[in-house]
Structure 1
Amino acid sequence: MKRFFAVTLGILTAIGGFVDIGDLVANALVGSRFGLSLAWVVVVGVVGICLFAEMAGRVAAVSGRPVFDLVRERLGPRAGLLNLAASFGINLLTLAAEIGGAALALELATGIDYLLWVPAVGLVAWLVMWRVKFETMERVFGLAGLALVVFLVAFFALGPDYGELGRQLVHNPSDDGAATYWFYAVALLGAAMTPYEVFFFSSGGVEERWTRRDLGVMRANVFVGFPLGGLLSIAIAACAATVFLPQMIEVDTLGQMVLPAGLAFGQIGLALVIFGVFAATFGATLETALSSGYSISQYFGWQWGKYVRPREAARFHATLLVSTIVAVALILTTIDPIKVTEYSLVLSAAALPLTYLPVLMIANDPDYMGDRVNGRLSNTLGTFYMILLLVVAVAAIPLMLATKAGQ
């Protein structure tokens, strides 16, 4: 049982990374427009995030320090500041979207306008980060997010045309042009490899006081949590491809996204999926807010973390509070939280090399890693992904402008 709970950090990270509010709708939208023709992007993203999360977790377990704590030391203050500015800006946008997403889930459950829920979600999130222990937080929200497995069960219950879905894997059924197809490919890859995931994961390892003896636990987190998140992403797209694509209905709201579970299991299915959406988006709210606090505090050398009393990490907790307030204020302008996340995914894709190059460099540095530096396979895959991420970073913004964000 203890080992089972040990993987909840990976589950929370994966739920927050793969199935936050933007991904919930984005995967349903992709499924309703492109079927399963973009499922390969999720697979590429899962392999990539597993590769770099394993490096980040290994750095934390061997050195006792999270990745961002070493970025400034290894690359210098200027490069570290560039990394900080990009990651913090994206985190803030994503935090706003997650707060809005949790509020949207509460609107579906209660019928009360989501804007009225936004301040309450922000307040409860801050109270959880301030008062609840890290281990309790990750276990409760990581495991609660598993309610989204209802999508996987619903897919089989809907009786899909497996032959048609198989054809979609190799043939795009959409009439949209190549630029739109590749725009969503970039967005899905950005979703799978969102920068805050590795910052949260490595900092969480330090919160849990991982050492070399915990490398097995760390890898269990990586190789259970992230593939699970990818599987849920594909299940959401497959449900949309089964229900909406044959009717040529494009999904663009949270209410449409949860409909397949309702069609499969009625009110019980709807209740489960809405609960799962809330747990996933609220967990992602905690994850992105903590990542913002981690990155700022680690760059400036402040005391940080939930493993110390709040008074001993006052600036860390102040950063969490200010970030949450700014995010709440952004959503209260009535900006669409789903659109905010979709744009943040593209910006994440553009910033991916800034995040993952330092991870690759530190994981190869014997001064930090000793005999636990990367092996040949990790470096070969890491080099391949760095080239891929550079291509994605160059293409992300032009594709967004050319397609008007996939419209």
Structure 2
Amino acid sequence: MKKLFAVALGILTAIGGFVDIGDLVTNGLVGSRFGMSLGWVVIVGIVGICVFAEMSGRVAAVSGRATFDLIRERLGPRMGLANLVASMAVTLLTYIAEIGGVALALQLATSVNPYLWIPVVGAAVWLVLWRVKFSILENAFGLAGLSLIVFAVALWQLGPDWDALWRQASRPLIPHDESHLTYFYYAVGLFGAAMTPYEVFFFSSGGVEEGWKAKDLGTMRANVFIGFPLGGLLSLAIAGCATVVFQPNAIQVDTLGQIALPVTIALGKLGLALVLLGFFAATFGAACETGLSVGYSIAQYFGWQWGKYVEPLRAARFHTVLLVSSIAAVGVLLTTVDPIMLTEYSVVFSAIALPLTYFPILVVANDRTYMGRHVNGRLANGLGSLYLVIVLVAAAAAIPLMVLTKAGQ
């Protein structure tokens, strides 16, 4: 039973990384416009995040230190600062969007204006980050987020033409009413959503919080190779539901309520209840994940005491960062900025930050000073190097595609 709950860290990371507010909407939008023709991007993202999450988790388990802590020490303060600025800009933007996503989920459940929920959600997230134990956080929201499996059940119940879905996924073609530039813009967005920088920082820092040692490498790998593929499969199920219900009617998905509609059609009120629970758990879990990642990275860069495993008074600066970030997120959202729009921008900007995130991890995972006999093998280095090329291409293409397509319009 203990080992079963140990895997919950990977589940939380997967639910909060692959299936957060951005992925919920992006996969629904992509499914409604492109069908399953961009499913290959999710698969590529699953493999990539597994490669680098395994590295960062192994670094944490073997060295007993989080990845960001070692990046500054190994590559120097300038590279560490570049990494910090790039990743924090994206992570803070994502944190703001996730709090907005929780408010949208609560609006669906209560019909109360989301702007009335935003201060409540911001306060609730901060209280959880301040007072709730890490193990409770990961188990509660990670396991509750599994209710999103209802999308896979709904897809089955909708009775789609499986051969047609498979043809779209295996032989991707750009729909006649979509441009190549728009297709690749959303490909970059899906890839950025799958490999957002905060996922690896949260995962490695969470391993330190959990007290992983070299003997726990098996548990760490179970987290990676169960949690992240599960998140990816849920993403494909969301896209599949949108493909079946919306694409034949040329309806473009752009709200959270539309994402829930296929489940309601297939499974009725019970399905709606489960999907609302999943929306809340996934977005709240992602808000906790991104909020902690902001605090982890800043505290680790400056060498402050950090973590939920220490008393708040001993990590006062870490908790101050969490408080200030939460206040800033609420303040931005109360300007009436659209959380969905913020999320769409955050996943694209995430692609830009990827090289500065993943190159240092590859360097640290090959350093015998920290890793001893647990340095990368040929397979890890080969895949890591291949994905560095992919993330460089995605980073270079992100802004031009955003400008040329007017953010996918």
Could you state the TM-score of these two structures normalised by the residue count of structure 1? 0.99
Partner of 2:167: 167
- Distance in 1, matches of 2:8 and 2:280, equals 17
Secondary structure, counterpart of 1:258 in structure 2: helix
Displacement of 1:172 after TM fit? 2.4
Q: How big is each residue's C-alpha offset from its partner over 1:329-381, in whole Å with a ceiling of 9 and x where there is no partner?
A: 11111111011011011100011000000000000000110000000011011
Partner of 1:260: 262
Q: How big is each residue's C-alpha offset from its partner over 1:259-304, in whole Å with a ceiling of 9 and x where there is no partner?
A: 0110011111111101100100000000000000000000000000
1:200 aligned residue (182, 199, 202): 202
Displacement of 1:239 after TM fit? 0.3
- Distance in 2, matches of 1:23 and 1:172, equals 22
Partner of 2:136: 136
- Distance in 1, matches of 2:373 and 2:24, equals 41
Amino acid at match of 2:382: T
Partner of 2:40: 40
Partner of 1:224: 226
Partner of 1:311: 313
Contact 1:186 1:392 in 2 (8 A): yes
Aligned Cα root-mean-square deviation (Å)? 0.7
1:212 aligns with 2:214: yes
Partner of 1:68: 68
- Distance in 2, matches of 1:7 and 1:171, equals 34
Amino acid at match of 1:223: F
- Distance in 2, matches of 1:390 and 1:167, equals 29
Amino acid at match of 1:181: Y
Secondary structure, counterpart of 2:306 in structure 1: coil
- Distance in 2, matches of 1:344 and 1:166, equals 30
Displacement of 1:199 after TM fit? 0.2
Partner of 1:241: 243
Partner of 2:79: 79
Q: 1:386 to 1:171 in 2, by over 3 A?
A: closer
Contact 2:32 2:242 in 1 (8 A): yes
Q: For 1:292-371, what aligned pairs fall within 5 Å after superposition?
A: 292-371=294-373
Displacement of 1:173 after TM fit? 5.3
1:377 aligned residue (376, 379, 384): 379
1:390 aligns with 2:392: yes
1:288 aligned residue (287, 290, 315): 290
Displacement of 1:44 after TM fit? 0.3
Q: How big is each residue's C-alpha offset from its partner over 1:136-183, in whole Å with a ceiling of 9 and x where there is no partner?
A: 110000001001000010000000011221221213252211000000
Contact 1:53 1:201 in 2 (8 A): yes
Amino acid at match of 1:172: L
Amino acid at match of 2:7: V
Contact 2:202 2:289 in 1 (8 A): yes
Partner of 2:155: 155
Runs of 4+, deviation exceeding 4 Å: none
Give structure 2 stretches of 5+ with no counterpart.
Answer: none
- Distance in 1, matches of 2:401 and 2:3, equals 44
- Distance in 2, matches of 1:166 and 1:294, equals 41
Partner of 2:110: 110
Displacement of 1:22 after TM fit? 1.2
Secondary structure, counterpart of 2:108 in structure 1: helix
Amino acid at match of 2:78: R
Q: How many residues align?
A: 407
- Distance in 2, matches of 1:31 and 1:107, equals 24
- Distance in 1, matches of 2:337 and 2:103, equals 13
- Distance in 1, matches of 2:26 and 2:179, equals 18
- Distance in 1, matches of 2:199 and 2:298, equals 15
1:190 aligned residue (189, 192, 197): 192
- Distance in 1, matches of 2:361 and 2:316, equals 28
Amino acid at match of 1:264: A
Displacement of 1:24 after TM fit? 0.3
Amino acid at match of 2:294: S
Give structure 1 stretches of 5+ with no counterpart.
Answer: none
Amino acid at match of 2:311: R
- Distance in 1, matches of 2:87 and 2:135, equals 25
- Distance in 1, matches of 2:366 and 2:281, equals 36
Partner of 1:101: 101
Secondary structure, counterpart of 2:13 in structure 1: helix
Amino acid at match of 2:24: L
- Distance in 1, matches of 2:99 and 2:401, equals 27
Could you state the TM-score of these two structures normalised by the residue count of structure 2? 0.99
- Distance in 1, matches of 2:99 and 2:34, equals 28
Contact 1:35 1:173 in 2 (8 A): no
Amino acid at match of 2:333: I
Secondary structure, counterpart of 2:53 in structure 1: helix
Contact 2:13 2:289 in 1 (8 A): yes
Contact 2:38 2:172 in 1 (8 A): no
Contact 1:22 1:339 in 2 (8 A): no
